[in-house]
Amino acid sequence: MIDFTSTRSGVSPATAAASRLLAAVLAQAIEDAARPFSKQEKVLHMNLQRDVLEALEFLFVDPEGVFAGYASLIGTSADSIRTALMRRGDGSVLRPSSFNEMDRRTLQIRARLFLATR
């Protein structure tokens, strides 16, 4: 995840540190949401892992919630992160080495299953 705030010139060390922390929180939520399916989840076609469900809720449910605020504080928008997660793109928001096409596909399926039950 690129942190656009801490890389700007003139940003205070405290702001840069806070921005890196928020970027790490967002990266962890993305990693959790893209976790591979368990055997039981594959059989039932459901998201069952608690960490996955919490991450999906964080990323996709409240458009103006905490996720949007964190994204804003690192210098981007929640919509641009969601778009980068769900569509193959130029990798401008996500580092390609940290989020591959298998992760993207898993996240797409998990998000579709999650949103269908809401």
Residue closest to 104 by CA, chosen among 116, 96, 114: 96
Mean pLDDT of the chain: 86
Residues 82-116 pLDDT 10s: 988 888 655 555 554 578 889 999 999 999 999 99
- Tell me which DSSP letter residue 79 carries: H
Give the phi and the psi of residue 65 in degrees, each rounded to 5. -90, -150
Measured from the Cβ of residue 95, the count of other Cβ atoms closer than 10 Å reads 11
pTM for this entry: 0.84
Continuous H helices in 34-63: 39-44, 50-60
H or E element at residue 48 = none
Residues 48-90 pLDDT 10s: 999 999 999 999 998 788 999 999 988 899 999 998 888 865 5
Integer Cα distance of 59 and 67 in angstroms:
6
Token pair in block for residue 105: 């596909």
